[in-house]
């Protein structure tokens, strides 16, 4: 807290405080603590954990794929579905609780950058979602390892070439999904920066999530369009929204050489640039907002 205090006192001399990572960390830490105390976080975490664990009870349900593939699909489904819900709901709730409880007024009356506020919120939510991803992926890996061992003891011939589950691939898919949630958090903060209600932000967040998942349809479509009046808006749509299907690398696990390192780096960079750009826009929009 000392560096934050010293930068505040510096403000008295210059009239403007420099950007402080310490204040950013404090806001992020507070956001994180608020989020993990919420019933929603615990509820969604519990649901995701229950879903991953229950995957083994549904293993007879796998019609088209192998048992291990089915468990992996089930686990990734829980991660993506509940992770998206958690990201949107938590971001909106934490942002608007500051506005509705008037704590944002107190906070922003102090020499604090709005960028520190926005990116502090982002970092706090990102950390919460990180815990969620780590627990879900950890459980999924544990369950797959347990079932693979059981199957290995029953059918050793099928595992002559070694284990078939690509655990490193699962880890990287988890990391990339976490980064995708980071982009989603930035998007929700951008919406929240100009929105007046929590509900509007949550609903818009879900709409944007669906659009981002279907963004690739727009980029596929405009290449085949002749009418310029239709083509240009569709083309613009494909550039405005990030492509969330890009993060869905779960299908590459166990195919060919698995998930290539270059692809992971490209997707991670893609997410980081979007987080910076959309986060920056959220700050810009929030600066124009009267609280």
If one asks whether residue 7 binds other proteins (CB under 8 A), the answer comes out as no
| Least distance (Å) between residue 173 CB and other proteins | 10
> Which residue among 20, 242, 279, 283 contacts other proteins (CB under 8 A)?
242
**Are 218 and 237 in contact, with CB atoms under 8 Å apart?**
yes
Per-residue contact flags (x/-) with other proteins for residues 143 to 182, judged by CB under 8 A: ----------------------------------------
Q: Binding mask 77-106 vs other proteins (x if CB under 8 A, - otherwise)?
A: x-xxx--x----------------------
- 35 or 55: CB nearest other proteins: 55
In three-state secondary structure terms, 214 is coil
Contacts of 117 (CB under 8 A, 6+ apart): 27, 104, 107, 108, 286
241 token code pair: 């929204």
**54 in contact with other proteins (CB under 8 A):** no
Tokens of 72: 């992996």
Contact pick of 23, 27, 48, 70 for other proteins (by CB under 8 A): 70
Q: Say how far apart CA 148 and CA 49 lie, in whole Å.
A: 19
Min dist CB 264 to other proteins, Å, is 9
**Position 76 contacts other proteins (CB under 8 A):** yes
DSSP assignment, residue 111?
S
Q: How far apart are CA 30 and CA 146, in angstroms?
A: 37
Quick note: the x/- pattern for other proteins over 254-283, rule CB under 8 A, is: -x----x-xx--xx-xx--xx--xx-xx--
Q: What is the DSSP string of 6-42?
A: HHHHHHHHHSSPPP-HHHHHHHHHHHHHHHHHSHHHH
Best CA proximity match to 27, nearest among 85, 106, 88: 106
Q: Are 257 and 167 in contact (CB under 8 A)?
A: no
Residues that bind other proteins (CB under 8 A): 61-65, 69-70, 73-74, 76-77, 79-81, 84, 190, 194, 209-210, 213-214, 216-217, 220, 236, 238-243, 245-246, 248-252, 255, 260, 262-263, 266-267, 269-270, 273-274, 277-278, 280-281, 284-285, 288
């Amino acid at each position: 807290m000392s560096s934050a205090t010293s930068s505040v006192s510096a403000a008295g001399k210059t009239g403007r405080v420099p950007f402080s990572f310490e204040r950013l960390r404090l806001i992020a830490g507070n956001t994180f603590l608020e989020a993990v105390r919420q019933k929603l976080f615990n509820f969604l975490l519990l649901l995701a954990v229950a879903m991953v664990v229950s995957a083994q009870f549904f293993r007879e349900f796998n019609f088209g794929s192998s048992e291990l593939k089915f468990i992996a699909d089930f686990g990734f489904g829980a991660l993506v579905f509940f992770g998206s819900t958690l990201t949107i709901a938590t971001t909106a709730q934490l942002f608007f609780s500051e506005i509705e409880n008037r704590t944002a007024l107190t906070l922003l009356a102090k020499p604090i950058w709005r960028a520190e506020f926005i990116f502090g919120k982002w970092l706090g939510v990102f950390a919460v979602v990180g815990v969620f991803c780590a627990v879900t992926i950890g459980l999924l890996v544990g369950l797959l390892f347990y079932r693979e061992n059981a199957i290995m003891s029953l059918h050793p011939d099928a595992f002559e070439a070694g284990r078939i589950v690509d655990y490193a691939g699962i880890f990287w898919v988890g990391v990339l999904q976490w980064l995708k949630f980071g982009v989603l958090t930035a998007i929700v903060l951008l919406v929240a920066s100009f929105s007046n209600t929590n509900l509007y932000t949550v609903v818009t967040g879900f709409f944007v999530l669906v659009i981002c998942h279907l963004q690739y349809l727009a980029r596929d479509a405009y290449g085949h369009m002749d009418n310029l009046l239709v083509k240009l808006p569709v083309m613009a749509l494909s550039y405005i929204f990030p492509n969330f299907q890009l993060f869905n690398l779960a299908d590459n696990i166990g195919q060919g050489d698995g998930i290539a390192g270059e692809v992971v780096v490209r997707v991670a960079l893609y997410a980081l640039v979007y987080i910076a750009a959309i986060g920056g826009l959220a700050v810009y929009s929030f600066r124009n907002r009267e609280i």
